[in-house]
Each structure stands twice: as C-alpha cells, then as structure tokens.
C-alpha cells in the first residue's frame, strides 16, 4: 500500500462525501422546515443528471447542461411540491413515505418513457479534463477535484444563505417554530415551495456532476438516496452541520473501507479470500458505523432539538 | 408520624439558564391530599414530569414507597404504584373506555406477553375494569371509544385507570380542568373518598376544590416552594397572598 | 352476527381459493401461479401488518426478512443438492417444513437484531434506519459470491412436502393458501390478546402505555421479530414459487411494495394485505399486459390512494375500521 494510493482513495472518499452532502442537505432541510420525509429526492438527482446530459448533447456545452440541471431539478421540485407534496405536510410519515414512493415510480418510468432504457453518457468538459500529480507521484483527475471544490463552495453558500439572508432567517424560524413564522407574516406556502425547490436543485446539481463520472440512467438516484439517509441519521435530522460531517464521514469511511479492509484481511487469510470477505464486509461498514453511533446517540450526532 | 409515601428532597432541574425546579422538597403522607398550587409557569408540570420519570432531575432525590426511584423509567415507576392522570387527557383514543382500563388491569396483573387468549373474553380483565369504570360513574359509557367521550368523561376515565393500577399514591394533574361546575362538584366528592385508598398529590387551579379537599398545600412560585401548610396557614400567609392568591382568598 | 367486514373477508378468502381451483380445472395453470403469488405476497404483507398496522412501526426494511427467508430456502436446497455440509457439519434439506422453520428463525433473529437498534428511535429515524439496515443485507448478498452474488441462486427442483407433489401448481398453491390462512388466524389471535392490546395502545399513545407500567420497547421489539419471521416464511415460499432467489428480493423496492400492499388493501385490517396483494397483482397483470410502463400508472394509482382514498380497498368495501 503506497501513500499515493491511500491519498487518492481519501480524495475519492471526500468526493463521495461532498456529493452525499448535496443530497443530504436538501433532505435534512426539507425535513427540518416542513417535517417531511421525501423518498423522491433521488429522483430529483436523476432529473438533474438527465437534464444535464440531454442539454449538453444538444448544445455541446457541459456548462449549459449544468445550469439546466439546476433549473430543471428546481422546476421539477417546485411542480411536485405544488401538486403533491404540500398535501402531505399534515399527514403522518407513512403517507409521506408512500406518496413519495409513488413519485419515484412515476419519475423513473416517466424518464424511461422520455429517454428510453439505455443509459446516456456525459463527457467531462474540456476545461476539467486531465489529471494533476499528487504528492507521492499518483495522477488524480482534475474533474474529481473540481467536484470537491464545487461541493465545498455550495456548502459555504448554503451556510451564508441560511446564516446571513432574509430567506435563511425565515428557514431558521420555520425550523424552530412553525407557528411563529406564520405570526411573523411570512407566507409559509411560498417558503415551503422555495425550500423544496432549493433542495431539489442541490440534488439535481449533484446528479449532473456525478453523471459525468458514471452513466446517466434510471434508478441512479436510489443508492445515493439511501446513503444520504444514512448520512442524516448519523448527523442528526434537521441539522445542516450534521449533514456535512455525516456526509464526509460516510464518504471517507465507505471508500477507505473498501480499499483497506481487503488489505488488512490479507495479513490473516489467503489473498483471494481476503478480497471476497473484505469486499463483503466493506459494503456493510457504514451501516455498522451507523448502528454504533445510534447505540450511543439515538438522535444522531447533531440532532436538532425539536426533531 | 407515618412515613411519607412520596418524598422529594432538594430537587433541582435546569433548562439551560432557566431553573425550573429550585431545591424543591415536599412529601406526601398516607391518607392525605397534598395540593400543589402556583401561577402558570411556576414549574408544576416540570415537577410532575420529574416525579413520573419523563424528565430526569439534575440533582436531588425522589423516594417512593421506601425506595429511591429517581433513576427509574416511566413504566417502572408506574409498576411500583405511582398512579398518574394527565393535564391533557392521555388515552388510547381508538380503544373503548373499557379496553383503556383493561390495559391497566393487565399491566397490574403482571404480564402483557399473552399472545393467544382474547382479552375481550377474559373475565378477570373485564370484571375488574368494569368495577373501576363503575366507581367513576362511567359504566354506561364503557363501549364507547375514548375519542368519543366528552372532556369530563375522559378525566374520569383517567382516574379509573389510575384506580385499576392499585396505586400507592395518585398524582393528579389538574383533574378539574375543563369540567363544568356540576362535574367539579361530583369529582371533588369522589376525590374526598379516594384519599382513604391512597394519598393524592393534587396539582390544581380550581381553588374551591383545593380548599375543600387539601389537608396541606404547597405553593410553588418560580420553581421554589414558598410555603407549605394547612389551608388556614396558606390563606393567612402574607408571602403567598402577595405572590399568588391576591384577592382570591 | 356478521359485520360487513367479516363478510368481505369471507368473500375474499373464498375467491382466492375458488379462482385458482377453477383455473386448474379448466386447464389454465398460469392463473394458479398468479394466485399463488397473491397468497405469498399477502403472507409477507400480513407479517408487516403486524408491525405496521397494529404497532404503527413503519418498517421500510421488510424486504430484508423476505429475502432472508428466500435465501434460507435457496441455500438449504443447494446444499442438499450438492451434498456439501452447510454449517458445523449440518447438511442442507429439501423438506419444506424444515426450511420454513429455519427461514422463520433466521429472519426472526435478524429482525430482533435490527429491531434492537432501530426501535430505540421512532418516526422518520425508524423509517430510514430500517431502510438502511435492509440495504446493508442487500449489499451483503450482492458482494458475497458463495451463493450467486448478484446473479442469484436457482432452486433446481422445488422443495418437498411429505405426501404432496409440490411441482403441481395447484398443490403448491394450496400449501401457500393454508399457510396464509394460518397466519391470518395468528394475526387475529395476536390482535385480540393482551400483547396485541399493549401493541396497539403503544401505537395510539406511547405515554399511556408506559404510564400503566408496560414498557413499549419490549412489546414493539417482540412484535417486530414475529413480524420479521412471518415475512421470512413468505420469502421461503416465494423462492420455491420462482425456484430462484436473488438480491432483488432484498431490494428496497420490495420493502416499498410490501407497504404498498397494506395501504392499497387497508392499513391494520386483517384482510388488508390480501386485498392489497390481489389488487397489486391484478394491476401488474392487466396494466402490464397493456403497457410496458405499467409502474408509471401504478405510481399514479398509489398516489391517488394515499391522497384521496386513505382507507384502501377494505375501507371502500367494509367501511371504517372498528376497534374493541
């Protein structure tokens, strides 16, 4: 195991963590403000990826595609909120789960209808192609570094938005006291639509960026959604800070586990077996971590008081 | 003097900078009704929560029936015989009044891990539950869902549940709230007889009821007990008059 | 004195029996297989209904137990076929009753384990955690190559039940039907028992249950484990029906579908799972015959059910649920 390889894996873990944060931030915001659990968040991720791929192939520009991903996911989020989600705020979690599960079916099959069953591919923009040398000599793709940077920028932007703007003040008020915010004269219905669209846009943005690393296909959002759930369960539902730390933790532990566990096991058992057992164990690692954290802190590391 | 059934010693609870319970020591002796009064926000609910176990005290001890219960959970304290009614009725709304009481009877009988015998054909549950409903005057409403009962009837049902638990002490949180004058009067009469069964810690705003029932009264203001004494002593206490009773007395 | 719900239930049970028997008599085994699918899914959902309907525990991870039951059947059968010992020198088996016991035990134990952790939480946390643990089992099945990994595991010849030719569709259907009826009977007993009282009361008002001196955690954990075992049994039957088990039985879509069955039928109702499973399979069959995109329409129907018809099919047929 060389240092360079470990560094590369660590960066991959960070990149995964940053993407998970974009998903988890939206989920946790929507739960914190509206008390809603949204299973269809992964569908918005998929919408972003498809929008980016379709627009990029039509215009030839990844960047226009990226903007389109943001806009389409936000628009899809707003429409869904207006048509369906706002009827669910007063319902119990079971109804929310079912209705958003139904949305997944509709989104997935709808996308297949529009784009067919074959995956789309998205090229990395020329500006971000190529690789840089890491200390230790390994080459690391510029694009992945760019994702990390973009994620960090979004995290900073979200921090400023929530901490420093009027919208952010309203969101915070909505998180701590839903009745008070009505008394303040804020139009709650609009606020909810905006928050939902914002969460959707973050998910769509994440989908578009990851779309250039993997293929763009129906169902791509679901594994990410479930990881994002693990993230916010670990971080504490409703907490953006928890989402950030949880996302980095999950991203790094998952990636490093897949990398290190087989190697550690190889010290004890034959290499072929070490690969198999290590791989299987690594796939369970973050869930075991989640279980351990919950055993100590049932409401996650940074639970919001009211959640 | 008989040993107290319930004894709080030097209880303290802070919520952040707010001291909700400030070195509170009160006790409940066999056969008595001890009323706890105080203005809104004085910390009565917080105190009740600590006694029941839904809120853990920061320091101080709670002794009940001869043992320290300050570290026990809600269910464990109930099993020891701490019978409680709620400020806002807390029932299983879909269950009938009868089945609400039956739940208490089954808990009191010791096991809820019977999987096969239908409770609605279990005479040992039904007879005792009906007897409890009869004591509070709800026998004709037994088959109605708790959600369909009137406000006053739900309070009566809560008391029936507390009775079914064979409680060694009752903790009644504003039982008169929302009762009409007629209901308050009959409930006052009922509580008067109940003290023979087990002593009552009564949190109540209805001063007529408190003065009619209480053997002793403690006055809680800003988390502190400012006075404890008989009805007469409390009526006369200048600090109490200033802080709370005003012209009421 | 029969209530409307009892009549609806009897009709449903009779239909589920009559349709495949008639289909079999008229030489249409395909419909027998469809009915078997309904019976097995109804059994799985009845298991979930114990936790979700009675206990209010919205488990989004019951596919784990369904899949574990399936793998129990597949693994035991494959060892019996190959003759290799399984664990501690124990061999596999082709006997259904033994397979069922193993499936229920393993699923129940895993349920106990998952429940121990997830029941410390409630609400949204519980939903997400059960989902996450099921996903853990799913990924484990995919990355563990000994039993087929992603490709799944075939059961070459359907397992056996003494005195019955299980390869005949109608015989296998009858086995599943009897097990479903037994499970429904158990559901009735549990619902009316002391345990069921405490479980349902804990759903309605947790504080009330604790205040009478019953700890809700132990009640819920027990219910969760029983629920897992029942769904595991259904998984074993499902593997035998398809003679194949794969990670898709463990996928979170499966968990979602099990909840959907209950809601389509009517939450907490005895025959809700059966009504829902029948509706679901009929949708799948009819819509699937019309369009490849049937899931799109299933989504719309489901959305409409949640938003506008909350009682499900039984709510429509038999009116509001009644409680003793």
pLDDT digits (tens, 9 = 90+) for B75-86: 999 989 998 888
Residues of chain C with pLDDT under 70: 1, 321-324
Does the distance separating the beta carbons of C296 and A294 come in below 8 Å?
no
Residues of chain B with C-beta less than 8 angstroms from the C-beta of C324: 95-96, 99, 119-120
Q: Residue A52: which pLDDT band, with cuts at 50, 70 and 90?
A: very high
Domains of chain C: 4-318 (1.10.3470)
Q: Residue B246: which pLDDT band, with cuts at 50, 70 and 90?
A: low
Q: Token match 């690789």: residue?
A: A131
Of the listed ranges A69-73, A216-220, B177-181, C177-181, the one predicted with least confidence = B177-181
The H or E element that residue B62 is part of is strand B59-64
Helix (H, G, I), strand (E, B) or coil at B16: coil
Share of chain B above pLDDT 70, in %: 97
Does the distance separating the beta carbons of C140 and A284 come in below 8 Å?
yes
Beta bridge partners of residue B12, listed in sequence order:
B59
Encode pLDDT of C98-114 as tens digits: 999 999 999 999 999 99
Whole-number pLDDT of residue C266: 86
Angle at C308 (CA atoms; ends C305, C313), nearest 5 degrees: 45
Strands B216-221 and B224-229: antiparallel
Q: Residue B237: which pLDDT band, with cuts at 50, 70 and 90?
A: confident
Whole-number pLDDT of residue A297: 84
- Encoded tokens for B119: 């409770």
Starting from the edge strand earliest in sequence, which strands make up the sheet with B18-28, in order? B18-28, B6-15, B59-64, B67-68
Touch of C by A (3+ CB pairs closer than 8 Å): yes
Q: How far, rounded to the nearest angstrom, does the alpha carbon of residue C85 sit from its chain's CA centroid?
A: 30
The closest of B92, B57, B169, B17 to C207, measured between CA atoms, is B92
Of C132, C293, C295, the CB nearest to A287: C132
DSSP letters spanning C118-134: HTTS-HHHHHHHHHHHH
Of the listed ranges A27-31, A138-142, C175-179, C238-242, the one predicted with least confidence = A138-142
Encode pLDDT of A116-133 as tens digits: 888 888 888 888 888 888
DSSP state of C193: S
Interface of C with B (CB under 8 A): 189-190, 192-198, 200-201, 204-205, 207-216, 219, 222, 323-324
Of A105, A222, A287, the CB nearest to C133: A287
Residues of chain A with C-beta less than 8 angstroms from the C-beta of C136: 283-284, 287-288
The closest of C260, C278, C283, C259 to C317, measured between CA atoms, is C278
Residue A166, Cβ density class (10 Å: 0-12 exposed, 13-18 middle, ≥19 buried): exposed
Encode pLDDT of C144-167 as tens digits: 888 888 899 999 889 989 888 888
Chain B stretch 113-142, residues whose beta carbon is closer than 8 A to a beta carbon of chain C: 113-120, 122
Cβ contacts below 8 Å, chain A against chain C, sum to: 119
Whole-number pLDDT of residue A116: 87
Residue that wins the pLDDT comparison between B17 and A26: A26
Contacting residues for A18 by C-beta, under 8 A, at least 6 apart: A147, A148, A150, A151, A152, A155, A247, A248, A251
Share of chain A above pLDDT 90, in %: 51
Cα four-point dihedral sign A196, A202, A204, A206: negative
Encode pLDDT of A179-227 as tens digits: 666 666 667 888 899 999 999 999 999 999 999 888 899 989 988 999 9
**In Å, what is the CA distance from C191 to each residue of A12, C101, C269, C313, C324?**
51, 23, 10, 21, 10
Residue B175, Cβ density class (10 Å: 0-12 exposed, 13-18 middle, ≥19 buried): buried
CA distance A281 to A1: 19
Residue that wins the pLDDT comparison between A269 and A8: A8
User: Rounded to the nearest 10 degrees, what angle do helices A221-235 and A41-59 cross at?
Assistant: 130
The closest of A175, A226, A198 to A77, measured between CA atoms, is A198
Contact predicate C156/C243, CB 8 Å: yes
Does the distance separating the beta carbons of C120 and A113 come in below 8 Å?
no
The closest of A87, A83, A41 to A199, measured between CA atoms, is A41
Q: Kindly tell me if the per-residue pLDDT of B249 is higher than 50.
A: no
Whole-number pLDDT of residue C324: 52
Q: Where are the alpha helices (DSSP H) in A35-176?
A: 41-59, 62-83, 93-115, 142-164, 166-176
Residue B65, Cβ density class (10 Å: 0-12 exposed, 13-18 middle, ≥19 buried): middle
Task: List the single residue in A with minimal CA-CA distance to C143.
Answer: A280
Contact predicate A140/A131, CB 8 Å: yes
Chain C closest CA to B205's CA: distance in Å?
23
Residues of chain C with C-beta less than 8 angstroms from the C-beta of B86: 207
Whole-number pLDDT of residue A153: 92
Contact predicate A130/A142, CB 8 Å: yes
Contact predicate A262/A278, CB 8 Å: yes
Q: Which CATH superfamily is domain B1-81+167-249 in?
A: P-loop containing nucleotide triphosphate hydrolases (3.40.50.300)
pTM of the full structure? 0.91
Contact predicate B192/B214, CB 8 Å: no
CA distance C136 to A283: 7
Residues of chain B with C-beta less than 8 angstroms from the C-beta of C211: 52, 74-75, 78, 84, 90
Residue A185, Cβ density class (10 Å: 0-12 exposed, 13-18 middle, ≥19 buried): exposed
Count how many residues are written for chain A: 307
Cβ contacts below 8 Å, chain B against chain C, sum to: 112
Angle at A55 (CA atoms; ends A52, A58), nearest 5 degrees: 145
Contact predicate C44/C228, CB 8 Å: no
The closest of C298, C300, C245 to C276, measured between CA atoms, is C298
Q: Token match 């952010």: residue?
A: A168
Count how many residues are written for chain B: 249
- Encoded tokens for C178: 């009897």
Does the distance separating the beta carbons of A284 and C299 come in below 8 Å?
no
Instruction: List chains adjacent to chain A, taking adjacency as at least 3 C-beta pairs closer than 8 Å.
Output: C
Torsion over CA of A210, A212, A213 and A216, rounded to 10 degrees? 80
Angle at B147 (CA atoms; ends B142, B152), nearest 5 degrees: 75
Does the distance separating the beta carbons of C145 and A98 come in below 8 Å?
no
Residue ranges of the domains in chain A?
A: 3-218
Whole-number pLDDT of residue A134: 79
DSSP state of A125: P
Chain B closest CA to C123's CA: distance in Å?
18
Of B78, B92, B114, the CB nearest to C210: B78
State the best of C135, C149, C300 to mutate against chain A, taking most chain A CBs within 10 Å.
Answer: C135
Q: Mean pLDDT across the stretch B42-52?
A: 90
Does the distance separating the beta carbons of B74 and C211 come in below 8 Å?
yes
Helix/strand/coil percent split, chain C, to 5: 75, 5, 20
Angle at A102 (CA atoms; ends A101, A105), nearest 5 degrees: 95
């Amino acid at each position: 195991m060389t240092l360079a390889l470990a560094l590369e894996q660590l960066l991959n873990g960070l990149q995964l963590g940053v993407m998970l944060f974009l998903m988890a931030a939206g989920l946790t915001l929507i739960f914190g403000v509206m008390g809603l659990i949204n299973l269809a968040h992964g569908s918005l991720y998929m919408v972003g990826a498809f929008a980016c791929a379709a627009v990029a192939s039509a215009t030839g520009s990844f960047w226009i595609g990226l903007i389109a991903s943001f806009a389409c996911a936000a628009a899809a989020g707003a429409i869904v909120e207006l048509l369906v989600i706002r009827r669910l705020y007063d319902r119990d979690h079971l109804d929310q789960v079912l209705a958003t599960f139904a949305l997944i079916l509709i989104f997935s099959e709808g996308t297949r209808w529009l784009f067919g069953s074959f995956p789309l591919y998205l090229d990395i923009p020329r500006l971000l192609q190529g690789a840089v040398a890491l200390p230790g000599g390994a080459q690391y793709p510029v694009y992945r570094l760019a994702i990390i940077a973009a994620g960090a920028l979004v995290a900073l932007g979200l921090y400023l938005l929530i901490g420093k703007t009027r919208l952010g003040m309203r969101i915070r008020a909505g998180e701590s006291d839903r009745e008070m915010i009505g008394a303040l004269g804020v139009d709650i219905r609009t606020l909810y639509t905006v928050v939902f669209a914002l969460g959707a846009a973050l998910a769509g943005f994440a989908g578009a960026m990851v779309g250039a690393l993997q293929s763009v296909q129906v169902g791509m959002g679901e594994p990410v959604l479930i990881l994002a759930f693990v993230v916010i369960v670990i971080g504490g539902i409703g907490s953006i800070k928890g989402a950030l730390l949880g996302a980095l933790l999950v991203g790094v532990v998952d990636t490093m586990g897949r990398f290190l566990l087989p190697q550690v096991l190889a010290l004890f058992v034959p290499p072929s077996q070490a690969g198999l057992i290590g791989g299987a164990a690594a796939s369970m690692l973050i869930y075991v971590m989640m279980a351990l954290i919950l055993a100590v802190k049932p409401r996650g590391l940074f639970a919001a008081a009211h959640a | 003097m008989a040993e107290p059934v319930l004894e709080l010693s030097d209880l303290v609870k802070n919520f952040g900078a707010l001291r909700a319970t400030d070195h509170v020591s009160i006790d409940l002796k066999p056969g008595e009704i001890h009323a706890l009064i105080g203005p809104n926000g004085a910390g009565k609910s917080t105190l009740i929560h600590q006694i029941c176990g839904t809120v853990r005290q920061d320091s101080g001890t709670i002794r009940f029936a001869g043992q320290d219960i300050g570290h026990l959970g809600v269910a464990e304290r109930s099993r020891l015989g701490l019978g409680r009614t709620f400020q806002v009725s807390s029932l299983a709304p879909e269950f009938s009044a009868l089945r609400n009481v039956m739940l208490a009877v089954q808990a009191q009988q010791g096991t809820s891990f019977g999987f096969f015998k239908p409770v609605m054909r279990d005479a040992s549950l039904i007879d005792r539950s009906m007897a409890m409903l009869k004591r509070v005057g709800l026998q004709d409403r037994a088959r109605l869902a708790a959600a369909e009962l009137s406000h006053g009837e739900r309070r009566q049902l809560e008391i029936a549940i507390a009775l079914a638990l064979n409680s060694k002490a009752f903790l009644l949180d504003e039982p008169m709230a929302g009762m009409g004058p007629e209901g308050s009067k009959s409930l006052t009469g009922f509580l008067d007889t109940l003290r023979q069964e087990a002593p009552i810690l009564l949190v109540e705003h209805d001063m007529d009821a408190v003065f009619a029932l209480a053997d002793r009264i403690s006055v809680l203001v800003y988390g502190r007990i400012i006075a404890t004494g008989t009805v007469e002593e409390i009526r006369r206490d200048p600090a109490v008059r200033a802080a709370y009773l005003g012209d009421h007395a | 004195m029969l209530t409307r719900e009892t009549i609806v239930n009897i009709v449903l049970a009779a239909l589920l029996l009559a349709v495949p028997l008639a289909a079999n008599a008229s030489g249409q085994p395909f419909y027998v297989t469809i009915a078997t699918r309904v019976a097995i899914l109804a059994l799985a959902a009845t298991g979930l209904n114990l936790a979700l309907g009675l206990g209010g525990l919205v488990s989004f991870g019951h596919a784990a137990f369904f899949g574990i039951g399936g793998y129990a059947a597949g693994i035991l059968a494959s060892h019996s076929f190959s003759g290799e010992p399984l664990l501690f020198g124990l061999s596999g088996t082709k006997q259904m009753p033994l397979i069922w016991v193993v499936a229920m035990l393993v699923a129940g134990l895993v349920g106990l384990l998952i429940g121990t952790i997830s029941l410390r939480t409630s609400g949204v946390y519980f939903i997400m955690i059960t989902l996450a643990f099921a996903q853990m089992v799913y990924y484990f099945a995919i990355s563990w190559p000994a039993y087929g990994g992603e490709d799944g595991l075939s059961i070459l010849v359907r397992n056996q039940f003494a005195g019955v030719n299980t390869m005949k569709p109608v015989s296998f259907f009858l086995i599943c039907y009897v097990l479903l009826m037994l499970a429904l009977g158990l559901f009735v007993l549990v619902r009316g028992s002391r345990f069921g009282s405490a479980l349902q009361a804990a759903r309605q008002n947790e504080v009330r249950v604790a205040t009478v001196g019953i700890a809700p955690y132990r009640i819920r954990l027990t219910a969760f484990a029983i629920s897992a075992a029942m769904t595991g049994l259904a998984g074993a039957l499902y593997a035998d029906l398809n003679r194949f088990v794969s990670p898709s039985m463990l996928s979170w879509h499966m968990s979602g579908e099990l909840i959907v069955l209950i809601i389509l039928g009517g939450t907490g109702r005895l025959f809700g799972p059966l009504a829902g499973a029948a509706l679901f399979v009929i949708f799948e069959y009819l819509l699937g015959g019309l369009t490849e995109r049937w899931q799109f329409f299933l989504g719309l129907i489901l959305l409409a059910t949640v938003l506008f018809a909350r009682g499900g099919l039984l709510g429509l047929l038999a009116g509001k649920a009644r409680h003793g």
